Amino acid sequence: MSDHDISPSLAPEETWQDQVLNVLKDHGVSLISYVPDAGHAAAIRGAIADPDIEAVSLTTEEEGIAVNAGAWLGGRRAALLMQSSGVGNCINMLSLIQICRFPFLTIVTMRGEWNEFNPWQVPMGASTPAAFELMGVRVLRADSADDVAPTIASAANLAFLASIPCAVLISQRVIGSKVWTK
């Protein structure tokens, strides 16, 4: 696939979860940093198992911004996987992108939206798009499983070819409801 293709052809048996890693790889991403998250579990497992991808587990989301910067300085493309609840942790560190002008791509699984059970997820879920936009990060949104791959491909092109920092928000409706268990 070329870097300019925003409509990747995907095997029909592929789930949107599988598509996340595949589209990132198609766009030259060789380092993925992440905070463990059920919504990103398939991409994380795939990255860990893939010898062509370096998977870096983080203790907090803002570390991923520095990891992305370091990867770029080392000649590599990187992506940060996180949940919307972690975006608030990144606000100060997002200034690094503005000052140093390195490509930035993050894929964010949303919480605090459709059918949320945990009220603590709602404030940051509602504030995620505005937080990114205030820090100069373009926000693209995937509201259906069919939107995930082309939206990530478009964001990768914007980030790596046009030098526009991008966040892809994957709707909670796509991810599915979490259920509180005792």
Residues 97-147: pLDDT tens digits? 999 999 999 999 999 888 878 888 888 889 999 999 999 999 999 999 999
In our burial notation (b when 16+ CB lie closer than 10 A, e otherwise), range 72-89 reads: beeeebbbbbbbbbbbeb
H/E segment holding residue 44: helix 41-49
Look up the pTM and report it.
Answer: 0.90
CATH topology of domain 16-175: Rossmann fold (3.40.50)
Tell me the pLDDT tens digit for each residue of 40-79.
999 999 999 999 999 999 999 999 999 999 999 999 999 9
Tokens linked to 19: 């598509």
What order of strands is seen across the sheet that includes strand 105-109? 54-57, 29-34, 77-83, 105-109, 166-170, 138-142
Domain spans of the chain, in order of start? 16-175
